[in-house]
Structure 1
Amino acid sequence: MTAHPPPPPPFRDPDLPFAKRVDDLLSRLTLDEKIGFLHQFAPAVERLGVAAFRTGQEALHGVAWMGPATVFPQAVGLGATWNEELVRRVGEAVSREARAMRARDERVGLNVWSPTVNLLRHPLWGRNEEGYSEDPRLTSAIATAYTRGLRGDHPVYWRTAPVLKHWLAHNNETDRDTTSSSVRPRVLHEYDLRAFRATVEAGATAGVMPAYNLVNGRPNHVSPYLAEQLRTWTEEDLLVCSDAGAPSNLVDSEHYFDTHEEAVAAALRAGVDSFTDHGTDSSKTTARLAGALARGLLTEADIDTAVRRQLSVRFRLGEFDPDADPHAGERAFDTPEHRALAREAAEQAIVLLENDGLLPLAPDTRIAVVGLLADECKLDWYSGTLIHRTTPLEGIRERFGAERVEFAEGVDRVLLKTSAGTFLRVPPAPAAAEPARGAEAALDPALLAGRTDLPPLTTGAEGTELALADWGEGLLTLRAPDGRYLSVAEDGRVRASADQPGGWIVQETFRLEPHGDGHLLRHVGTGCHVQVAADGVKVAEEDPEVFELVVVERGEEAVARAAARADVVVVVAGNDPHINGRETEDRTTLRLPAQQELLLRAARAANPGTVLALVSAYPYAVDPADLPAVLWTAHGGQAAGTALARVLAGDVSPAGRLPQTWYADDADLPDLLDYDVIGSRQTYLYFEGTPLYPFGHGRSYASFAYGDLTARVSGAAVLVRFTVTNTGEVTADEVPQLYVRAVDPSVPRPRRELVAHRRVSLAPGRTAELSFELPLSAFAFWDVTLGRWRVEPGPYELLAGASSEDVRLRATVTLDGEPAAARPLRERGLDTADYDEQSGTGIVDRDRTSGDAVTAVSGGDGELLFRRCDFGDGVREVSVEVSGEGSVELSLDGGPALASLSPRTPTAGPYDYVTLTAPVTAAVDGVHDVRLRLRGPLRVARVGFSG
């Protein structure tokens, strides 16, 4: 008889539901194997034929860190398109390239860590480039589109498995692993959670990544909101992946737990399923998890829960069904379609901020292209390696003709003279090390900083003229004539070896420090000065060289000469994404760097026909008063230069819209760590000043008329219709925006709030009729009195127009809603974090697992106000749950104190609460405003009342 092979185990059976297959595989794993799965680099289980698996592949605007790939505009640029269908197609292209790249290199992961849905609350945030918008609805719309593209449209198998970053309320790089974002319930639900929620509910998200920071005193990696909010939004098994090093931070920098065993146990129980820590070395993490099990801090059931979530994602990616996986044969990489899409996305991301008629430019225009970014195609930390590239200069020359375009970079050309009278000299690069452009650049190792095989700098009687670019705040780059940037490798030698500044620690930036009659040259990456020694030019902690800076040519003079010879000058200004504002580093000002302002003034003085093209990862405060045209685009990826040239020429009418407010001055900004968008009136939702450019702003080469607005309540929705007509002479896109405003709210509500938008393309004279169905939930706010969403009865104004401030049409609807109720103090008391207003306080953790308390900032004095509190038929006693030391004072309606409570002695620790009681000095009944004054480093969690 012929022996038949045993049937495959159930987890290999594609006809079974994924849940049953996951359970079967889980039952076959040993405890040690399951623990091994919890590190980012999960090992193979050869006895079961299960391959190794890595969580995490960066894919924010193209596949990153894995070599050549199509590079699309930065995320904030994709947000500026206001075009979900376009962004979905970008996500689809990125996921196809991820699959194609994985077919060649198994290091390319399919669990992609993108998009970033943190809201662009504060424009000085260093990672502004990674988010989509300051508005939660626009953010979730763009993020949902991108994740749908990343997932693919197959009903069973996912092309990639996207993970949203970074949960939660994360908007600062300064001390990002130790700072706490104080987020009251209204801000939490109406702002920070909203962007995540809609994207998760759309069903294309595999999970989330917690952020480094703390929220209300508790690290995000042990956030109760993972269970209380995130996992209630979907029935899918979401995978929660830690951020890199964050599990260790719970002990090492945050000191939230005493031992790493306690930390990993708490994170796992809170909902973290994959630990990204210690790079590829999983031994420390697995040892900590095993230790937590041995101490009884975890159970095997806890481990199983996390492993099940990871396996669920792996099954959805088709790992266990290679013959059935429709994406397994994907080979779409750097296709003509992807190149065209990169250009389309770059074009749609361009925002025309000002135009007095100078744009578009005539074909025979003589153009001077000037500025530090004029001949640059910058990459950021999450970019892939460019296969193709166009700079603004290249794009403009191609579009208008090289003979009509003049270039002046605007950098100072300098020589560095040593104290011995010699000059710094850059040796010629070997032929193989010459900087490459195009496809060769993606593979040329000469473009990698940190090389030690290139010759270091020398000194000689004749020096090398260096291009000195000042990026602001004293940060300089120095570049050789052949385009190589001065950089420092691990051996400390100074070489011209980098194509661009970059790296986790940038090695291409320097500072000139006045010293006597000359300057010291400090290398920022190492903190050491440049030294000229017998064995060559290097950085060292002793014997720094004193250089004389010999200026051969001033950048502004070259700009002025070029501008004077042209009909129009295009000043390309902005930032390098690795300098002064990036991951790990917040900006300090909205101002354009001084050298770039100098170049702009020089160009404008020489030629009134000056176009300012800002290419940046974030907003700037610029004065457009005497500029006839201003554009902005995020770093636009591989097609940035072509896209800009086509917009300048009028081949494309610009229709990008600002995804965040551009403020006029630093004084308009709140503190970077103030996360209370309501209380401190942040973003377009609440800002009461005059912005430089408002949220949603963007001009066009066409004009548009809005009309026929109608709005009516129909069941559980409000139906809105209006028309938009192209009254201009060119085909163009318009982005009609619909906002809502509560006319007479009982609590502070947004000045206006985006509820719908649509990007439409219209030929001259054509009209589009737009209709929107708004669920009544779109009009709700988080009622802290009830602890849930509530639609308030009354009139609501609907505002249709071209931006948050350019309102063309208005209509009013009246909603029945749910009437407000006073706070029932005797029945429910007061959770202190549910205040209406506060001053001098912050929200902290009630304990290490759940709940909030409030304390005075820095142990000083603080105040909480609770409006419309119902004392019923009277109370005579008040109680407070407190820890620490200090006092709590209660008063009504601004009157005298009715009760004061203070622990006799400080409690043992911040989580050791005691309940204090005191009689009120007079019987109180009816409805009043309650004011609590906190004095000293006291934590107050709750206030109760009794008759």
Structure 2
Amino acid sequence: MNTTALVPYRDPARLLDERITDLLGRLTLAEKLGLLHQHQTPVPRLGLASFRTGTEALHGVAWLGPATVFPQAVGLAATWNPELVRAVGSAVGDEIRVFHQKDPGDVGLNVWAPVVNPLRDPRWGRNEEGFSEDPWLTGTMATAYGRGLTGDRPDYLKTAPTLKHFLAYNNETDRCETSSNLPPRVLYDYELPAFRAPIEAGAAVAMMPSYNLVNGRPAHLSPLINQVVREWTTDELLVVSDAGAPANLIEPQQYYPDGPSAYAAALLAGVDSFTQDDADAGPSVRHLEQAIARGLLQESDIDTAARHALAIRFRLGEFDPPELDPYRSLDPDLVNCPEHRLLAQDAARQSVVLLKNECHVLPLDDASTGLVAVIGPLGDKLYEDWYAGTLPYQVTAVDGLIERLGADRVEFCEGVDRITLRVAEADLRLAVGAEDELCVSAGEADEAALFDLFDWGGEAWALRSVRTGRHLTVTDDDRLVADQPGPNGWEVKQTFRLIRTSESTTLVQHLNSGRFLRAGETVTLTDRAQATAFLVEVVVDGTARSAELAARAEVAVVVVGNHPLVNGRETEDRAELDLPAAQERLVKAVHAANSRTVLVMSSSYPFSTCWAQQNLPAVLWSAHGGQEYGRALADVLFGDCDPSGRLPQTWYRSAADLPDLLDYDIVATDATYLYYRGTPLYPFGHGLSYTTYAYSDLEVSATSMPADGELRISCTVTNTGTRAGREVVQLYTHQQRSRVKQPLRQLRDFRRVALAPGESERVELALSAAELAFWDVTRDRPCVETARHSILIGRSCTDTRLTATVDVLGERIPVRQLTSRPLASITFDQYCAMTLISVAPDQGEATQSLDPGAWLAFDDIELPIGRFTCTARVSNEGTATGRLELRADDPLHGELLGQCDVVPTGPRHSWAEADFELTASQPPSTLYVVFSARGLGLETLGFAAVS
């Protein structure tokens, strides 16, 4: 190709940086501002088309019509198979390209996936969007998925993946107003690694900040974006805001008074693209123009953001001749093509986790198995979550088993009650009348007055009309109609709460509006005082009918779980971990009727299924598995493939085993498998096989290694059973002694091996000393400490088969010399009743007391006997003077070294200095700072000896 006549930005032979600089130089300021919105404005004179960020691609192409739907992200992680996950990402990338070819204006190639927030708490409403509670496994899977999305060409991107959501985002409750407390060790050792891995690997070229605040500062203003994240890559990184987040900086976060100041602060913090006001870029552009006019921004700041926006467009091939882009003209038939269907089946198959298997119930045998009863509300239905694609077809559990055994050997019962709602003390019932609208009918209950009742947990019930086969909902004009396929939409309007007011009467509350049903001449919504009391009359007992079927069957397969849009989804966290009560009753009744009961859970998150673990012979779990779920499940149930899924997060026995949902300090609260000291229901990494394995002949390449060294670890794994199987060999480590609290165990590597009966394989694993580093708060940097480490190899984080030790020759953390530099309050070792806050809108972090008597502890200090002066940088948002006390070795009874008053300093970000003297009669080993009142802030303490 002759490129001599091309302008520089159109010349693919030139360096990318040179091309971007040339194009920026040709754009006017107004044109550059038009690039800083989700819907970038075209520049026809230069051949720039419109460009849209934000195609959803979490586990398939979403919101654009039928496309291949793969298992949810947490299900993909349960495969513990990065190669498979990369293949899924590649298939999704291909399908996005095809949709883009058909509609380049509305289908952008910047995709908003994957989600890399570690799954710290299984109650998080968006649990299904993440990969794992372990940051390393999260980073590994995100890198694999991102590499699939980006393609395998170093010179062109297939799509441009965007990591979500930076940073410390695991709660939907008040998500735009809550602040996630991240002490430095939690930040650097737990939260950041999951983001770092795919960015360093080039598997993500963009990032999205989260809605929440972090240490008192909105995540969209985090200095970490420019100071830390962008240092992980030499490529230009695009940072896009979450939808509506720019406006949140004004309300409800009240961080800036108006749009220009908020937009300027976000852009200077590293946000390049504003997702606000849907497709209308006008308001965002005007805010930026006003910020420039007020001197809050310079044109060079706009150039920096525009450069980031243009960089991925160049890498996507937009400005190159079409024949050079390998992804420009993919086969339109790739969407839901046979290869992608097979891949979806394989992904669903590998994501199934066998949690328990006793009494030789599984695997089932095709030839000898008689009648199979498939029971449960998820037995013949697949559900889409909010970020799922549109299912092109459904293979349910019933479909998969009928396809395998034939219709004469499979019977299905949904297992839900069929009810009528009768007005108390009247012969009137709710019914579905003309135009599917809810009305009142007299006389005996007929089909129009019957409803199937679904319990989705969290006091959320759905009512499906028997006459229409559709769910009851409330329209925008407050009519009650039965015309919906089920719970759906951003605002789910198809769920109700049944509130018992006496032994026999019940009020029906519409969850979305909070109002109650009133049955008069018409059925309306009203307040509680005017609500109608109903008698819930069971016409068909779904549990009893299920038990009858189970008693006739040779084996019962009960399929339960969650509806992905109810009780645990974006905007809604769970309060508990229990199965919905009606589903729990169903499982118990079926097992009482047939001891050969297999529980199959299809869910977005873990449940606390303690009764099932104690009583049922077989239990399986998978995330919602996509279009091929039923075939995959049948393959596992009948042993065509060995269950190879492993849990990517801990299953707890109760929500009582978890800290507060809003407490992000996993170290202090003993959270996640890293620190949890209890006995979980199922541990991280757990998953059974239909065969058995022996581990032997552990070899470690050295008994010690330096801080920059690496180890080769190998062992022999043997299939000691009679069936072929796939094992996941997991390597964990534990640092035996340390200055700080260390994880009980931490995943470092794993390998998947496929073994025939009696076959052995030598498994090679790797460990570098750098992986053993943790954040040293005393020096604000990573540290590989001199210590002995346990090497643990096994089938889960608690099922260890082989152990060894290695001595790591690192460094010893020195004592804190308080007179050498100011002591930053956030470098505490322990704390009580403290929170983290921002010092200024753009930079700095400090601590603030939550209650009188709150304290900070700083271990291993060096403060000689004598007199010292101390300068404390403090704040006091209250109206009364408070006090700081410095004590030695105990916050209550330790020697009082010194104290100072903290006068009111004003609102947030107002600081002052307080000078005082202290005296140490004996050298303390731990310094305690004790706060006398709520709302006292401390940034630093500076010490100097009195000569």
Give TM-score scaled by structure 2 length.
Answer: 0.94
- Looking at structure 2, the residues matched to 99 and 807 of structure 1 have their Cα atoms a distance apart, in angstroms, of 45
1:538 Cα offset (Å): 5.0
Query: Which residue is equivalent to 2:494?
Result: 508
692-701 vs 510-519, which deviates more? 510-519
Q: Is 1:381 aligned to 2:386, yes or no?
A: yes
- Looking at structure 2, the residues matched to 31 and 309 of structure 1 have their Cα atoms a distance apart, in angstroms, of 16
Residue type matched to 2:456 in 1? W
Q: Is 1:941 aligned to 2:931, yes or no?
A: no
1:389 Cα offset (Å): 1.1
Q: Is 1:932 aligned to 2:929, yes or no?
A: yes
Contact 2:749 2:766 in 1 (8 A): no
Secondary structure (helix, strand or coil) at the match of 1:253 reads: coil
Q: Is 1:724 aligned to 2:717, yes or no?
A: yes
1:900 Cα offset (Å): 4.1
Residue type matched to 1:466 in 2? F
Contact 1:396 1:645 in 2 (8 A): yes
1:772 Cα offset (Å): 2.3
Q: Is 1:99 aligned to 2:88, yes or no?
A: no
Query: Which residue is equivalent to 1:286?
Result: 285
1:8 Cα offset (Å): 4.3
Query: Which residue is equivalent to 1:697?
Result: 686
Q: Is 1:528 aligned to 2:515, yes or no?
A: yes
266-275 vs 817-826, which deviates more? 817-826
Secondary structure (helix, strand or coil) at the match of 2:110 reads: coil
Secondary structure (helix, strand or coil) at the match of 1:112 reads: strand
Contact 2:458 2:575 in 1 (8 A): no
Mapping of residues 645-660 of structure 1, within 5 Å: 645-660=634-649
Residue type matched to 2:231 in 1? T
1:845-890 CA-to-partner distances (Å, cap 9, x unmatched) read 1111111111112x43311111101226755222211011522111
1:253 Cα offset (Å): 0.3
Q: Is 1:365 aligned to 2:361, yes or no?
A: no
Contact 1:372 1:409 in 2 (8 A): yes
Secondary structure (helix, strand or coil) at the match of 1:620 reads: coil
1:221 Cα offset (Å): 0.3
Secondary structure (helix, strand or coil) at the match of 1:416 reads: strand
Unaligned runs of 5+ in 1: 429-453
Q: Is 1:550 aligned to 2:509, yes or no?
A: no
Equivalent of residue 641 in structure 1, options 609, 616, 630 = 630
Secondary structure (helix, strand or coil) at the match of 1:312 reads: helix
Contact 1:380 1:578 in 2 (8 A): yes
Residue type matched to 1:622 in 2? T
Contact 2:353 2:620 in 1 (8 A): yes
Q: Is 1:608 aligned to 2:610, yes or no?
A: no
Secondary structure (helix, strand or coil) at the match of 1:604 reads: helix
Q: Is 1:811 aligned to 2:804, yes or no?
A: yes
Query: Which residue is equivalent to 2:863?
Result: 871
Query: Which residue is equivalent to 1:345?
Result: 347
- Looking at structure 2, the residues matched to 622 and 258 of structure 1 have their Cα atoms a distance apart, in angstroms, of 49
Query: Which residue is equivalent to 2:744?
Result: 751
Cα separation, partners in 2 of 1:880 and 1:514, compared to 1, 3 Å: same
- Looking at structure 2, the residues matched to 5 and 777 of structure 1 have their Cα atoms a distance apart, in angstroms, of 46
- Looking at structure 1, the residues matched to 898 and 380 of structure 2 have their Cα atoms a distance apart, in angstroms, of 67
Cα separation, partners in 2 of 1:515 and 1:775, compared to 1, 3 Å: closer
Residue type matched to 2:437 in 1? P
Identity of aligned residues (%): 47
1:907-926 CA-to-partner distances (Å, cap 9, x unmatched) read 1333222221222133565x
Contact 1:351 1:657 in 2 (8 A): yes
Q: CA RMSD in A?
A: 2.0
Residue type matched to 2:190 in 1? Y
Query: Which residue is equivalent to 1:436?
Result: none
- Looking at structure 1, the residues matched to 543 and 439 of structure 2 have their Cα atoms a distance apart, in angstroms, of 29
1:545 Cα offset (Å): 4.7
1:147-171 CA-to-partner distances (Å, cap 9, x unmatched) read 0000001111101000000000111
772-781 vs 201-210, which deviates more? 772-781
Residue type matched to 1:639 in 2? E
1:660 Cα offset (Å): 0.6
- Looking at structure 1, the residues matched to 77 and 864 of structure 2 have their Cα atoms a distance apart, in angstroms, of 50
- Looking at structure 1, the residues matched to 464 and 824 of structure 2 have their Cα atoms a distance apart, in angstroms, of 59
- Looking at structure 2, the residues matched to 298 and 903 of structure 1 have their Cα atoms a distance apart, in angstroms, of 40
Q: Is 1:475 aligned to 2:472, yes or no?
A: no
- Looking at structure 2, the residues matched to 790 and 472 of structure 1 have their Cα atoms a distance apart, in angstroms, of 45
- Looking at structure 2, the residues matched to 816 and 474 of structure 1 have their Cα atoms a distance apart, in angstroms, of 55
- Looking at structure 2, the residues matched to 526 and 692 of structure 1 have their Cα atoms a distance apart, in angstroms, of 37
Secondary structure (helix, strand or coil) at the match of 2:742 reads: coil
Query: Which residue is equivalent to 1:44?
Result: 42
- Looking at structure 2, the residues matched to 396 and 519 of structure 1 have their Cα atoms a distance apart, in angstroms, of 39
Contact 1:863 1:933 in 2 (8 A): yes
Equivalent of residue 393 in structure 1, options 385, 390, 398 = 398
Cα separation, partners in 2 of 1:737 and 1:944, compared to 1, 3 Å: same
Contact 1:901 1:917 in 2 (8 A): no
Contact 1:910 1:939 in 2 (8 A): no
Secondary structure (helix, strand or coil) at the match of 1:116 reads: coil
Cα separation, partners in 2 of 1:7 and 1:873, compared to 1, 3 Å: farther
Residue type matched to 2:314 in 1? F
Mapping of residues 667-706 of structure 1, within 5 Å: 667-706=656-695
1:255-311 CA-to-partner distances (Å, cap 9, x unmatched) read 111222111111000000000111112222111111111111111111110010000
**Count of residue pairs brought into register by the alignment:** 916
1:537 Cα offset (Å): 4.6
- Looking at structure 1, the residues matched to 844 and 699 of structure 2 have their Cα atoms a distance apart, in angstroms, of 45
Contact 2:888 2:897 in 1 (8 A): no
Residue type matched to 1:323 in 2? E
Contact 1:795 1:813 in 2 (8 A): yes
Residue type matched to 2:495 in 1? T
1:340-392 CA-to-partner distances (Å, cap 9, x unmatched) read 00010001111000001211112223221111211110110000101021111
Q: Is 1:10 aligned to 2:3, yes or no?
A: no
Give TM-score scaled by structure 1 length.
Answer: 0.94
1:219 Cα offset (Å): 0.5
- Looking at structure 1, the residues matched to 401 and 465 of structure 2 have their Cα atoms a distance apart, in angstroms, of 25
Contact 2:731 2:791 in 1 (8 A): yes
Q: Which consecutive aligned stretches of 4+ in structure 1 deviate over 6 angstroms post-superposition?
A: none
- Looking at structure 2, the residues matched to 904 and 341 of structure 1 have their Cα atoms a distance apart, in angstroms, of 64
Contact 2:397 2:630 in 1 (8 A): yes
Equivalent of residue 485 in structure 2, options 490, 499, 502 = 499
Query: Which residue is equivalent to 2:146?
Result: 147
Contact 2:882 2:902 in 1 (8 A): no
Query: Which residue is equivalent to 1:440?
Result: none
1:722 Cα offset (Å): 1.1
Secondary structure (helix, strand or coil) at the match of 1:145 reads: helix
1:500 Cα offset (Å): 2.6
1:899 Cα offset (Å): 3.7
Contact 1:57 1:111 in 2 (8 A): yes
Q: Is 1:853 aligned to 2:846, yes or no?
A: yes
Contact 2:636 2:643 in 1 (8 A): yes
1:572 Cα offset (Å): 1.1
- Looking at structure 2, the residues matched to 593 and 705 of structure 1 have their Cα atoms a distance apart, in angstroms, of 38
Query: Which residue is equivalent to 2:884?
Result: 888
Secondary structure (helix, strand or coil) at the match of 1:723 reads: strand
Secondary structure (helix, strand or coil) at the match of 2:139 reads: helix
Mapping of residues 55-134 of structure 1, within 5 Å: 55-106=53-104, 107-134=106-133
- Looking at structure 2, the residues matched to 28 and 873 of structure 1 have their Cα atoms a distance apart, in angstroms, of 67
Secondary structure (helix, strand or coil) at the match of 2:560 reads: strand
Contact 1:370 1:570 in 2 (8 A): yes
1:424 Cα offset (Å): 3.5
Mapping of residues 430-441 of structure 1, within 5 Å: none
Contact 1:399 1:646 in 2 (8 A): no
- Looking at structure 2, the residues matched to 900 and 207 of structure 1 have their Cα atoms a distance apart, in angstroms, of 49
Contact 1:724 1:768 in 2 (8 A): yes
Secondary structure (helix, strand or coil) at the match of 1:563 reads: helix
Cα separation, partners in 2 of 1:413 and 1:346, compared to 1, 3 Å: same
1:397 Cα offset (Å): 2.0
- Looking at structure 2, the residues matched to 339 and 5 of structure 1 have their Cα atoms a distance apart, in angstroms, of 42
937-946 vs 266-275, which deviates more? 937-946
Secondary structure (helix, strand or coil) at the match of 1:252 reads: coil
- Looking at structure 2, the residues matched to 346 and 904 of structure 1 have their Cα atoms a distance apart, in angstroms, of 60
Contact 1:727 1:765 in 2 (8 A): yes
